[in-house]
Amino acid sequence: MTTWLDAFVPAFGLLLLGALLRAWLLREEAVWAGMERLVFWVLLPALLVAAISAVPLLELPVGGMAVAIWGGLAVGTLASLWLARGLGHGHAATTSVLQGGIRFNTMLAFAVATGLWGERALALGGVSAALIVPAVQVVITVGFVAGGGGRLKLLPMLKGLLLNPLLLACLAGFAVSALGGLPAGVRPLLSVLGQAAVAVGLLCVGAALSVRVLASGAATLGATTLLKLVLVPAATLLLARLIGLDPVATGLAVIFMAMPTATTAYVQARAMGGDAPLMAALITWQHVAAVLTLPLWGLLLGGG
């Protein structure tokens, strides 16, 4: 119980604080827009570089985890696009459904994984994050720049990928890992900035919450939540079992894929032209539902 309280109470507390700050203290739109840009362009990239650069890629079962994770992401991507199309959503809303279907809350994933498997989860958790984040960013960036009508525009797509700070941060993290890690002093600096990304990102989401949006679109919110918290991790578990991945690596891959969507997905929706109110509602719905689903996944996977 303590693990779940420690994981979720801070997240929901920051969401509530963001809503209160927007209502009573920081009412100016420009304040929140500046905070969102700070998270997207500086704080979250720092978090990704710090996490991925510390992963010892050659010593861990990266290949098997890649099969399970990328297979689960493929299922989530196709199901998200099918769902958005079936519900008649336009391009902006489709990108938010896509983010809701395949992104994950990094910091919550590490908190839950270490609670279930202890310190041994850190390295495999780093592998999971390193496999998920670049793949997700490529898919999402393509989704954003593809435009309405489903026609893929090559030059805007390449520009979007090359200028995406999250994807660039992942590539930088891999390069630094291959070179032996970050130099002394730099990793603590990036880690501090990464911690700020989580807090400031949650405040921004809380500030953007709309009662009207939360109370409407139940079909989209419910179906996307079910897709992300049940279907995608189930597909990942099936693939991991089929290829014979060891239990701890399987557990880490599935737990990371079972996370609610990233709180910073709202910031990216705002920055790249998605449906930000829908994204904020999806983030909230999924975090509420994850209070129930994550303990069930933990029991199924035998963490502890």
Domain boundaries, the chain: 2-299
Which residues have C-beta within 8 Å of that of residue 195, sequence separation ≥ 6?
Answer: 47
Residue 110's pLDDT is: 81
Q: Of 299, 259, 215, 277, whose CA–CA distance to 11 is shortest?
A: 259
- 31: its two tokens: 């304040």
Judge residue 217's burial from the number of C-beta atoms within 10 Å of its C-beta, 0-12 exposed, 13-18 middle, 19 or more buried. Answer: buried
Residue 150's pLDDT is: 47
DSSP class of 22: I
For residues 234 and 36, give the distance between their C-alpha atoms in angstroms, rounded to a whole number: 33
Contact in structure between 100 and 264 (CB atoms under 8 Å):
no
Q: What is the pLDDT along the chain (304 residues), one digit of tens a residue?
A: 566 666 667 877 888 899 899 989 998 988 988 998 898 889 988 988 887 887 777 777 888 999 999 999 999 999 999 999 999 898 899 999 999 999 998 778 887 887 788 767 777 887 888 888 888 988 988 888 776 554 556 666 677 667 778 778 888 988 898 888 888 889 899 989 988 887 888 888 788 776 666 666 788 999 999 999 999 999 999 999 999 998 989 999 999 999 999 877 888 888 778 888 889 889 888 988 988 898 889 888 876 5
CATH node for 2-299: 1.20.1530.20
243: number of Cβ within 10 Å: 15
Tokens 């994204």, residue located: 279
